[in-house]
Amino acid sequence: MHRLVGYLRGALIVFSVVVATLVGAVPLIPAAVAKIALPPGRARRLASRVVYAVATSWARTANRLILGLSGTRIDYHQGMTDDPDGRYVLISNHQSWADIMLLIAAIDPQLPFPRFFIKEQLRWLPVIGLACWALDFPFMKRHSRAAIQADPARRHEDMRTIQRACAVFRDVPVSLVNYAEGTRSTPAKRAAVDSPYATMLPPKAGGTAFAVNAMSGVLDGILDMTLAYVDTPVPSFWNLLCGRIPSIAIRVRYLPLPEALANGDYGADATYRDRFKTWLNELWAAKDTAVARLQDPNDPARRFDDLSGPTTARD
């Protein structure tokens, strides 16, 4: 019976979010088309504001449905003052499809609304793809190692995509999200690459470095997010919707970007590349330790270490 109730709860949330998406599509589609079609100017800025308002309203509604109906509690710690007008690169671990909605739920509205690096294929997803396009989300093409070896020029495509996106974000508040692992961390994926981390894949420093360099001169710093599904070693989005994940811990802290990393050529400068990798790997090791403790139901003292700032709990 308990499992059946979970399935019904999950189905109700999916249905409710689909309805909210269809309702939001009514003002979103014409505003997004107008933004894409119009030349730069007052009319395009107005269309952009409409797209942003619809997108943020949809995300807030979807999160209320997901968290309200699932009963999942977010324990959120923010080790910095609110700054909705800042420009940040946000670095986070990634374990579930739910991470994206949870990230928005955690930082909105007290920190800038996030933009994500997303797969090129999602551009064609009805309504959602159009919204991401209109919100200037960077669509990334992921080339295999074999494809890059066959055509080395492909290695630079994503770098140019990041640079074009950041040219827009230099003029607007943004939390530019980089999941440094490149994909969701699962036990099978960690075993396949022999990851040195208990809960994470090794971070890929290139994307983070390119974003930091592209925002040079206007970047206010790094938002370091750590997300853990408490007592849940193998989280999934469906389990969240079914109410099987009682608590999620999220920490966000501000990190000033080391001066030595603010500018550099990650692709051509081996010294800069090594410095950036060392900085990110040290950050990842501390993050992995915190997540492992929180996701271990047998750890009686599980907690985030070195937290500072206000603490809130969200239902």
DSSP state of 290: H
Percent of the residues in the chain that have a pLDDT greater than 90, as a whole number: 40
Q: Domain residues of the chain, as ranges?
A: 73-314
Interval 227-276: pLDDT, tens = 998 877 778 899 999 998 888 999 999 999 888 888 888 878 889 999 99
Beta pairing class for 87-92 and 73-79 = unpaired
What confidence score (pLDDT) does residue 303 get? Answer: 55
DSSP for 164-206, written as a single string: HHHHHHTTS-EEEEEETTSS---HHHHHHTT-SSSS-PPP-HH
Q: Which tens digits make up the pLDDT trace of 169-220?
A: 888 899 999 999 988 999 999 999 999 999 999 998 888 898 888 888 889 9
Angle made by CA atoms 203, 228, 262, in degrees to the nearest 5:
35
What average pLDDT does this structure show over 54-71?
A: 92
* Residue 243 near residue 70, CB atoms below 8 Å: yes
Q: Is the pTM of this model over 0.95?
A: no
Q: What percentage of the chain exceeds 70 in pLDDT?
A: 88
Mean pLDDT of the chain: 84
Which pair of structure tokens corresponds to residue 138?
A: 């960077």
Phi–psi pair at 88, nearest 5 degrees: -135, 155
Residue 233 is which amino acid? P
Q: Which two tokens stand for residue 306?
A: 């070195």
Span 73-314: which CATH code? 3.40.1130
Which tokens in the block code for residue 253? 């802290």
Write out the H or E segment, with its range, that includes residue 140: strand 139-140
For the stretch 142-156, pLDDT in tens is 655 566 666 766 666
